[in-house]
A and B are shown apart, each in its own frame.
Chain A
Amino acid sequence: MAGLRIDPSDATPIWSQIEEGVRRLVASGALAPGVAVPSVRDLASELRVNPATVAKAYQRLTDAGVLTVRRGEGTYVAQEPPELPRPERTRLLRQAAVRFASLAATLGVSAEEAAAALQFAWRSLGREKAGRP
């Protein structure tokens, strides 16, 4: 999958890196709605990771409505952005924020610096999207 980079030596579990990576590609428009994603076997082979790890990431993305499985055909990027109930959306967002904040804190970064990094990431996501035809 073009644009999906993972680092097995990182402390973040690989399934989580794949999940985040696919989310980022979908959010930036690099993976368009309705596009087929590689099979578990192919992506595992490409990334040289355990297929069970890829399967776990795909399962979580499917549960979250980012991917959809068409039985017998394969796995695709969902046509519509996932319609999550507001409390669930808030919960997921806070969960991710806690992870980011803990990382920033363990790196010895101030809250302002961390917020600036988030702003920067948000803007570069927009740029990637704008750069697509």
Chain B
Amino acid sequence: MIDPIRLEKLTVRYGRTTACADVTLAVPAGAVYALLGRNGAGKSSLVRCLLGEQRPSAGRAFLFGESSWKSRRGAMARTGVVPEDPDAPLAMTARQLDAFCRRVYPRWDSDAVAARLERFGVPPRTAFGRLSKGQKGQVMLALALGHSPELLVLDDPTLGLDAVARRALFEEIVGELADRGTSVFLTTHDLAGFEGIATRVGILKEGRLVVDEEIEALKSRFRRIRYANRLTETRTAFGTELDSFDAPRVRVRGWGIDAVVSNFSDESFERFRAIDGVENATAEPLSLEEIFVAVAGEEKGDKR
């Protein structure tokens, strides 16, 4: 089966600034891929290239095996998009937008659109420009799903949503996954919200894809290790006993060492604890958000 999304060494430059560099990834059918990154990490440029709205400086983006830049028409008929900024004409009502789309898409389900808008509580006869930010997002989602796409692309979908609208969004996405096995590609800052829904996670840092992994595998290899400070006094370098681990973040606290390791295993931790002076070390799992902060949030000079 053709992967709904494939990026090959995608690179976007603006003058001397590189927005994303050599990004290669695939979203297989049925996956829910969450792309994470701090503001300015290159997510928006990547999404624009993926949707054929922008030409990459180098490398290629494919939707259902077709080049997004050259021939996106066929692929876009199989893709639903919820853009970061709702871009529907402000004067049109939800009902008029639905009627417009029905003429564009060969398979269009107006009943499903109307049912979604009703579930969301969006008035169908109010001009788009007069809807709240949350309601605009909901109209965009209802329209994006109107042609029963095989792939749904969501650019920061929970941005600006209140708790109720956010819950409705998750229910809609989960329902879509259950009913039709839709593949999903999304960018988000709402890590806690998507932690249970995403199957795969990518982390962009300064334009580079530094993590591209199944979420279960990612979480199983990250741990926070903490232990008391009693041996560091006699050593010149702090935390050298952690050398057997990859530790993206090591902090020296008053009470001891607080480190995040990215290649944890029960066996390696057992060997670590055999080192004299760290017998009381503990290892705790990290949430996706904590992993993200450890990987992407690190300030220069923070790493030792």
Contact = CB atoms under 8 A, between A and B. Distances in A.
Interface of A: 6, 8-14, 40-41, 44-45, 47-53, 102, 105-108
A64 B289 CA distance: 34
Interface of B: 30, 32, 167, 170-171, 174-175, 177-179, 192-193, 195-199, 216, 219-220, 222-223, 266, 269-270, 280-289
A8 B282 contact: no
B242 to A, nearest CB: 15
9 contacts: A9-B195, A10-B285, A41-B179, A45-B174, A49-B196, A102-B266, A105-B266, A108-B280, A108-B282
B282 A51 contact: no
Contacts of B284: 107
Contacts of A47: 196
> By CB atoms of chain B within 10 A, which of A11, A41, A44 has the most?
A11
Contacts of B283: 106-107
Contacts, number: 73
B211 to A, nearest CB: 16
Given A50-B197, A52-B199, 16 more contacts: A6-B196, A8-B192, A11-B220, A12-B285, A41-B174, A48-B167, A48-B171, A48-B193, A50-B199, A51-B177, A52-B30, A53-B196, A105-B266, A105-B270, A108-B280, A108-B281
A11 B285 contact: yes
Contacts of B177: 44, 50-52
B4 to A, nearest CB: 16
A48 B198 CA distance: 11
Nearest to A55: B178
